[in-house]
Amino acid sequence: MSRFYLFLWLRWAARLTFCSTSLAALSSFLVTAITYVSRGLPELNMEIAGALVDIFIFWFPLFFSFTILIALFRGLKYIFNSCIDGFELQLLTCDGNEVIENIGYGDLVKVWRKWLMLLIWLVGSIMILALIYTNLFTSYSALFEWFNIYWLYGFILIGGHFSFIIMSSRCKKVKIVMC
């Protein structure tokens, strides 16, 4: 069973990483391109190329913050109905009698809300542990001097693993079956 959760988490983490970073990179590239075009397409030299890279680097974390939420919602759909190491997660109908074979995004809303709240609590707990570790063993003077979206993303990935373990007991519409 632990291999099931590990492989489920790895598939989810890879999909979440790919979707969120590619959407954020695409959005940042579009903003950078629009900025370049709106300035009249000046001749590309080292100074302008450096400025465009700075614009891209500025917008990427902002878009990454937003695209993580999109990828979290979209990625939940793909953890169901796939056999991994002899087990699979199944999503049940509202009455709990039938398995939903073709899962739509509308079927995920209630499960996603419960799972997201669970994930928020787990990430908050991990952040408290990281804060305790930071205060005891590092030389940072400010409380969250080290914290940024990339650390938060790492905490989401760690919390995601534990959330899959807890999800079937918290969400009555989700069950684990042998396949």
Q: Which residue has the tokens 């080290």?
A: 146
Question: Domain span at residue 116?
Answer: 2-178
CB 99 within 8 A of CB 92: yes
Query: What integer pLDDT is reported at residue 94 of this predicted model?
Result: 79
pTM: 0.89
CB 156 within 8 A of CB 123: yes
Count of domains for the chain: 1
Query: What integer pLDDT is reported at residue 33 of this predicted model?
Result: 97
Q: From CA 134, how far away is CA 122, in angstroms rounded?
A: 18
Q: Which residue has the tokens 């913050």?
A: 65
pLDDT tens track, the chain, 179 positions: 889 999 999 999 999 999 999 999 999 999 999 999 999 999 999 999 999 999 999 999 999 999 999 999 999 999 998 899 999 999 888 777 788 889 999 988 989 999 999 999 999 999 999 999 988 888 877 777 888 999 999 999 999 999 999 998 888 889 898 98
Query: What integer pLDDT is reported at residue 93 of this predicted model?
Result: 84
Query: What integer pLDDT is reported at residue 125 of this predicted model?
Result: 97
Query: What integer pLDDT is reported at residue 135 of this predicted model?
Result: 86
Q: Which of 160, 148, 128, 126 is nearest to 64 (CA)?
A: 148
